[in-house]
Structure 1
């Protein structure tokens, strides 16, 4: 499916400005509805790029399903949106939220007990499973077929955890920092297969006919957006309203071709 650029108002903020330790003015504010924002009038979103079709850069703008859903929430409150691209570990550890780098974290992030211990999550907004991607016609149909072969995964993901727990003992697991590198490893033959979320891999194979998804693993996963632990129930409520809205169905169909069940 042909992606479309997100409406104006979303920009990428370089991590280097934050990592440099430069002093920044306190621009935080609390809205009339009680929502705490790190920058007045703007919903600041932390993510790790790319993760198509959930978030990636196109034409200098961050686009994707996640920023579109969060834009529903921002529009309802009259806020702009801004995206901060940082490491995935900084997000899932809760550090990005605790240090005020953003108001909400996004990234097709599975809700887990470990993550709930350090962040507060919205209602689930996407049901996911893990998927196995190979070169087209490889003859591989399961993890068991990968004995003695190489499996690509993305660091700090539930897919990586699944492979470590379920792959044959003699399979070689190669970890990549981001999803694009993991997918390219399979496409170029550097890895025999890759495991990651089904939404990500199904979208990738729709754009690349030399790879295919050969099976999925029912892992009972749900994605959520997260906010600072114990710090922003009002923002959770605003985002939950967006998830429950008719606009959510429209955005879902835009990126996945059909309305959610």
Structure 2
């Protein structure tokens, strides 16, 4: 337990004694917002900033992470909205730091104490679990291949000798390396660099998570998804390895609460079509 946590616990204990002396522990007490059961334990979390859940994310990665000045954190997207609901139920403010995905998925950013949790469409893998703790899965994903509508690329079998954009450190990159070994893979820091490269004709295709490519195809009819790949991937929120088990348990509890009360489905439906795309 850190000194900050000890001081917070001592203050909480003193407050509890005062409430008991005043009869505050009876029917007159109020239930914290959210009702998830983990809110009362928020003081036990060893957070980067007291009272605030600091999330690290690689932005933009629509529809999972986008800048949105209308939101409390300045960011929106499926991951961020879900984490905002979790933070609200825990009685915490949410702040978001834009970081490199490669450093985040490797565990470097979280180990350095830059943030409390990683929320960036991070697929749970055995390799990553060596350096990170993951929440329960909150999203099932596919990989996909995006090309110009007039391209002669129809499948991954047509990528030999073609320039294909992938994101550094991602499962999409790993899938391309394994299944398109004769393609010329160009690894980019993120979708913010890959998408303009495809539009400028610098690459012939993008191989990455399906929902992100769906967003591009919706935004510009000159690009189409020619193939999808069921890789059995699931996203999870990431925490430093063995760094904050109380927070990890609370996040899992709130994920289940959000599913049970319908909030998860409302957030999901606001971003994804009925066909799962």
Give me the TM-score of the superposition, normalised by structure 1. 0.84
Return the offset for 1:118. Answer: 0.7
- After TM superposition, the structure 1 = structure 2 runs for residues 164-175 of structure 1, keeping only pairs within 5 Å, are 164-169=177-182, 171-175=183-187
Match of 1:81 among 94, 99, 104: 94
Return the offset for 1:221. Answer: 0.6
- Is 1:42 equivalent to 2:29 in the alignment? no
Counterpart residue number, 1:106? 119
Q: Deviations over 1:108-159 (max 9, x none)?
A: 0000111101111001111011100000132321111122211111111111
Counterpart residue number, 1:141? 154
Structure 1 runs (4+) deviating above 6 angstroms are none
Q: Which has the higher strand share?
A: 1
Tell me if the contact between 2:142 and 2:231 (Cα under 8 Å) persists in the aligned partners: yes
Counterpart residue number, 1:248? 264
- Is 1:200 equivalent to 2:216 in the alignment? no
What residue ranges of structure 2 are gaps of 5+ in the alignment?
10-39
- Is 1:219 equivalent to 2:231 in the alignment? yes
Return the offset for 1:241. Answer: 2.8
Q: Which has the higher helix share?
A: 2
Return the offset for 1:100. Answer: 1.4
SS in 2 for 1:134: strand
Structure 1 residues 27 and 57: alpha-carbon distance in aligned structure 2, compared to 1, 3 A threshold: farther
Give me the TM-score of the superposition, normalised by structure 2. 0.79
Tell me if the contact between 2:165 and 2:194 (Cα under 8 Å) persists in the aligned partners: yes
Larger Rg: 2
Cα distance in 2 between the residues matched to 1:192 and 1:85:
28
Match of 2:83 among 61, 67, 70: 70
SS in 2 for 1:152: strand
CA RMSD, 1 decimal: 2.2
Cα distance in 2 between the residues matched to 1:27 and 1:195:
47
